[in-house]
Amino acid sequence: MISYTTQMDAAKKGIVTTAMQVVAAKEKMAVERLRELVAEGKVVIPANKNHPSLDPEGVGAGLRTKINVNLGVSKDCCNLDLELEKAKRAIELKAEAIMDLSCYGKTQAFRRKLIDFSPAMIGTVPMYDAIGMLDKDLKDITADEFFQVVERHAADGVDFMTVHCGINRATAAKVKNNKRLTNIVSRGGSILFAWMELNHCENPFYEQYDRLLDICQAYDVTISLGDACRPGSIHDSTDAAQIEELVVLGELTKLAWEKNVQVMIEGPGHMAIHEIAGNMMLEKRLCHGAPFYVLGPIVTDVAPGYDHITSAIGGAIAAANGADFLCYVTPAEHLRLPDLDDMKEGIIAARIAAHAADIAKGIPGARDWDNAMSTARADVNFPRMIELAMDPEKAKRYRETSAPESEDTCTMCGEMCPMRNMKKILNGEELRLK
């Protein structure tokens, strides 16, 4: 029997893994075609060997657009029970991935509990955990200690990790020499930038990239190459720093593939609508078709409290033009840690964007859901419409809180309902409108 280290290693050797079989069935794709895409790096299946509860998902070319939910504790909001409740609710709402972005205290117990019960893939940003886990000032943390944190997360069972390898000294110089309105807004990227400035050293994850890849290979962790220079305002999008980092990430992608490490690329950020399609093409070109994971993009900076909407607009455009993975944004973005209601709003907005993009991309079966809903509407079958709704709970509540005189109408149109009247006329039924 041929042995393998990672999903990519297996795919290159012609081996179809159990995870590949599960993903191929979900995606209605021939398993051999999926294996080829994994071998080429155009699809990733984040599946840490230490995550036994995982229900595998694929991210990349020809597959449904996936969504990620961020959660985790901070110093000001440190309720682990609430974050676990959020995780369970996110799974119920069909999020394919959860990122634990906890940045306060000793978070390993929470992370392990999350991995133990979650069928969704789990991601982390080890840099967030470094200061709390090591209990040291940033300047005093050594490169070896950064790698210890990464290995701890990998051993715990994390399926993908965001590591900001592309913010090297040259990229940092672009940030300093090209004035931005919002500087670096990536939390992990800003921490590494500060560490480099304080210690006058190169980014250890760039300088010792092979060491990072060895850890990822050992546990089959998918590396999500973080965009430290993602734009934090529409003013800063597609600038020199963002593009410089993207070029570096493309080079790092090829090095990871040589070691059979699966790779995703992270992208913007805030970006005006007319720039999104071009950015998607640029990423796919410069990063050799690797799956693209975007935060939003948020298409205007002036809607705090409604950024689940600004990001859904950008996310739909991005995914329709090649992005493979959408990180949800909640109404609380830029304002506070989201609560359960915020989280739900963000998930539904991201799912709408992902599904709309899948229709545009021609993903097999994507239109079937819409056609079923349209059939229910033509039949004036409200129970079926509610059943098919992306959020049946909300649809049912709206229906019940405004009852019509006739059950085959709603309180918007009443007896003038075109669906009801066309159905009656075409069925040869008598129609009387008062």
Q: Is 398 annotated as a binding residue?
A: no
> What residues have CB less than 8 Å from 267, skipping those under 6 apart?
227, 230, 279, 280, 283, 292, 293, 294, 295, 297, 318, 323
Give 226-290 as a 3 state SS string. Answer: CCCCCCCCHHHCCCHHHHHHHHHHHHHHHHHHHCCCCEEEEECCECCHHHHHHHHHHHHHHCCCC
| CA-wise closest residue to 291 among 87, 119, 60, 71 | 60
> Is 349 annotated for ligand binding?
no
Strands 292-295 and 97-100: unpaired
Whether 413 has a binding-site annotation, put simply, is: yes
CA atoms within 13 A on the CB side of 361: 25
328 is in an annotated binding site: no
Confirm whether residue 381 is marked as ligand binding.
no
Residue 168: phi, psi to the nearest 5? -90, -175
| Side chain identity, residue 232 | G
What type of residue is 425? I
Listed in sequence order, the DSSP H helices in 187-234 are 187-199, 204-207, 209-219
3-state secondary structure of 157: coil
Query: Angle at the Cα of 197 (from 164 to 242), degrees rounded to 5?
Result: 40
The span from the first CA to the last CA of the chain, in angstroms, equals 77
Residue 410, annotated as binding a ligand: yes
Residue 78 assigned to a binding site: no
**Residue 99 in marked binding region:** yes
Residue 317 CB contacts under 8 Å (≥ 6 apart), including other chains: 273, 276, 277, 297, 299
The Cα–Cα gap between 179 and 181 comes to 7
**Alpha-carbon gap, residue 107 to 96, rounded angstroms:** 22
CA distances 338 to 72, 167, 193, 215, 344, Å, are: 10, 28, 27, 32, 10
Q: Answer yes or no: is 270 a known binding residue.
A: yes
- Going along 48-202, which residue ranges are E strands? 59-60, 66-71, 97-100, 121-124, 160-163
CA angle (256 as vertex; 253, 262 as ends), nearest 5: 90
Per the annotation, does 70 bind a ligand?
A: yes
Q: Is 230 annotated as a binding residue?
A: yes
Judge whether 228 is annotated as a binding position. Answer: yes
Annotated binding site for Zn(2+): 270, 334
**Binding-site residue ranges:** 70, 99, 128, 164, 186-188, 227-230, 266, 270, 293, 334, 410, 413, 417
Binding site members for [4Fe-4S] cluster? 410, 413, 417
Q: Which residues are annotated as a binding site for substrate?
A: 70, 99, 128, 164, 186-188, 227-230, 266, 293
